[in-house]
């Protein structure tokens, strides 16, 4: 299938946090990497709140994320986009995939499918006496491949690794992959910089872009920050919220984690001074490849 890439040279990046908790030091790394990369190229940097999974949203988290980014000086372009307000758009595109027979209902439970590629059990119909639940997209044996400026050559045969994957969940919510691909296309995003924890997601998203005839942004995956126990710094692992008064120190720490070499006196600089230095000196080629412990620099 013909793959489209963006022909415009104008860079559009984005940060798309899920408001399942406040901004923490791990998410600041993702925000900073995409921010610096866009700003270095005089491009746009968009902010999208991935709040489509309503049951997982935490009250006040989206506001905390917005306020903290502002306090850190990472100001976005255009209006903030909220996925929860775009359900009708996702449904329309899902209907198109359904009309092309690319989607089928699946009644398998999570425990029946856990830990292996989905073998396509419901391709020929759902099990008797079970309600139709999720919707899956058909995969095939094509190899999905892209070149990542940090991770190198990445490829996967989805049929073998994930199998047909869910694009509408059994609880009725549109799944993350479909909503993300639609928004990235409609927002004209040309570059996506995010953590290595989303590498597998990228391959599925490229597949959806191919089916939908969308352009493929450039994808870059930075290392994920780990805590002292070697676990990803995440909301699930109870990472503490960023306190805006430590904003500059958090930014400096993120810059170091991303393999940049700021002047030591910048350690005591303001958020704006750190961001200005970062924009001027941003070098994606020095960002390390592997996930690692986030060293406390303050």
Nearest residue to ligand GLU, by Cβ distance, number only: 50
The DSSP annotation for 120-157 comes to -TTTT-PPTT----EEEE---SPEEEEEETTTEEEEEE
59: Cβ contacts below 8 Å, ≥ 6 apart: none
Cα separation of 53 and 165, whole Å?
Answer: 17
Cα separation of 10 and 5, whole Å?
Answer: 13
Residue 188 exposed, middle or buried by CB count within 10 Å (0-12, 13-18, 19+): middle
Site pattern 128..167 for ligand GLU (x: CB under 6 A): ----------------------------------------
- How many CA atoms, within 13 angstroms, populate the side-chain half-sphere of residue 131? 5
CB of 138 to ligand GLU, least distance (A): 23
Of the two residues 109 and 236, which places its CB atom closer to ligand GLU in the complex? 236
CB of 99 to ligand GLU, least distance (A): 26
Of the two residues 159 and 183, which places its CB atom closer to ligand GLU in the complex? 183
Of the two residues 17 and 278, which places its CB atom closer to ligand GLU in the complex? 17
Site residues (CB under 6 A) for ligand GLU, limited to 196-225: 198
Site pattern 50..89 for ligand GLU (x: CB under 6 A): x---------------------------------------
Cα separation of 94 and 135, whole Å?
Answer: 10
Under rule CB under 6 A, how many of the chain's residues touch ligand GLU?
7
Under the binding rule (CB under 6 A), the answer on residue 180 touching ligand GLU is yes
Under the binding rule (CB under 6 A), the answer on residue 191 touching ligand GLU is no
- Residue pair 41/11 in contact (Cβ under 8 Å)? The answer is yes
Of the two residues 180 and 209, which places its CB atom closer to ligand GLU in the complex? 180
Here the contacts of 276-285 (C-beta below 8 Å, separation 24 or greater) are: 278/32, 278/36, 278/251, 279/36, 279/39, 279/40, 280/40, 282/36, 282/37, 282/39, 282/40, 283/259, 284/37, 284/149, 284/150, 284/220, 285/149
Of the two residues 198 and 279, which places its CB atom closer to ligand GLU in the complex? 198
CB of 16 to ligand GLU, least distance (A): 4
Of the two residues 198 and 226, which places its CB atom closer to ligand GLU in the complex? 198
Of the two residues 196 and 253, which places its CB atom closer to ligand GLU in the complex? 196
Site pattern 6..45 for ligand GLU (x: CB under 6 A): ----------xxx---------------------------
From 136, 138, 168, 194, residue interacting with ligand GLU (rule: CB under 6 A): 194
Cα separation of 239 and 211, whole Å?
Answer: 37
Dihedral angle sign, alpha carbons of residues 215, 146, 223, 230: positive
Of the two residues 44 and 194, which places its CB atom closer to ligand GLU in the complex? 194
SS3 116: coil
Cα separation of 272 and 72, whole Å?
Answer: 8
| Contact set with ligand GLU (CB under 6 A) | 16-18, 50, 180, 194, 198
């Amino acid at each position: 299938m013909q793959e489209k890439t963006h022909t415009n040279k104008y860079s559009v990046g984005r940060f798309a946090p899920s408001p399942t908790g406040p901004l923490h030091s791990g998410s600041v790394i993702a925000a900073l990497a995409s921010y610096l990369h866009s700003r270095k190229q005089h491009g746009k940097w968009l902010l999208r709140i991935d709040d489509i999974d309503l049951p997982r949203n935490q009250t006040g988290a989206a506001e905390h994320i917005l306020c903290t980014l502002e306090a850190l000086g990472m100001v976005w372009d255009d209006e903030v986009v909220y996925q929860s307000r775009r359900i009708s758009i996702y449904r329309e595109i899902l209907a198109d995939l359904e009309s092309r027979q690319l989607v089928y209902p699946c009644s398998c439970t999570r425990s029946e499918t856990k830990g292996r590629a989905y073998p396509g059990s419901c391709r020929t119909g759902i099990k008797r006496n079970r309600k139709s639940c999720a919707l899956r997209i058909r995969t095939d044996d094509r190899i999905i491949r892209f070149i990542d400026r940090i991770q190198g050559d990445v490829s996967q045969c989805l049929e073998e690794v994930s199998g047909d994957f869910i694009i509408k969940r059994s609880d009725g919510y549109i799944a993350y992959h479909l909503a993300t691909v639609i928004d990235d296309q409609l927002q004209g995003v040309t570059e996506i910089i995010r953590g290595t924890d989303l590498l597998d997601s990228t391959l599925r998203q490229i597949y959806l872009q191919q089916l939908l005839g969308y352009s493929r942004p450039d994808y870059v995956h930075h290392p994920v920050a780990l805590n002292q126990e070697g676990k990803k710094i995440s909301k699930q692992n109870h990472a503490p919220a960023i306190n805006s008064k430590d904003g500059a120190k958090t930014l400096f720490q993120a810059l170091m984690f991303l393999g940049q070499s700021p002047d030591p006196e910048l350690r005591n600089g303001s958020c704006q001074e750190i961001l200005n230095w970062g924009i001027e000196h941003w070098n994606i080629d020095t960002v390390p490849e592997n996930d690692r412990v986030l060293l406390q620099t303050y």
